[in-house]
């Protein structure tokens, strides 16, 4: 029988899901907390488990996995939401399909001087002539 504490094991699926949600080490340690005491798992223990299980420590594993699972899930959620939300469908169309809104703008400029402009011009001319 080996001496010392038994080797701590973590649920690989739950761990992968948490990484996929973008969770950090502290959050994952909290998730794997002791159910009796509420004390989070030790970050060093989690890192050693990663090393045994995946051949790299927690930080290396998380960097390797990156946020790809989270990005994939967000993209999937956005596409699902676009089925119910015209705004999301329009946004996705602009982002991925090159769609854009074109507005026809018709600007008519009148050369006729409005009353206020005319009054202001006349006052300025009077002030100039009084000098």
Q: Is 77 exposed, middle or buried (0-12, 13-18, 19+ CB in 10 A)?
A: exposed
pLDDT 10s digits, 1-24: 567 777 888 999 999 889 888 899
Q: What is the pLDDT of residues 61-100, one digit of tens each?
A: 988 887 788 888 888 999 999 999 999 999 899 988 888 8
């Amino acid at each position: 029988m080996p001496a010392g504490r038994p080797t701590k094991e973590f649920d690989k699926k739950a761990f992968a899901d948490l990484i996929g949600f973008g969770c950090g080490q502290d959050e994952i340690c909290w998730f794997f907390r002791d159910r009796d005491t509420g004390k989070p798992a030790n970050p060093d223990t989690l890192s050693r488990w990663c090393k045994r299980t995946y051949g790299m420590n927690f930080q290396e594993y998380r960097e390797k996995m990156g946020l790809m699972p989270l990005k994939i899930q967000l993209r999937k959620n956005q596409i699902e939401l676009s089925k119910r939300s015209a705004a999301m469908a329009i946004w996705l169309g602009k982002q991925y399909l090159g769609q854009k809104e074109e507005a026809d703008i018709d600007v008519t400029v009148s050369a006729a001087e409005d009353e206020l402009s005319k009054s202001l011009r006349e006052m300025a001319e009077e002030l100039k002539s009084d000098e």
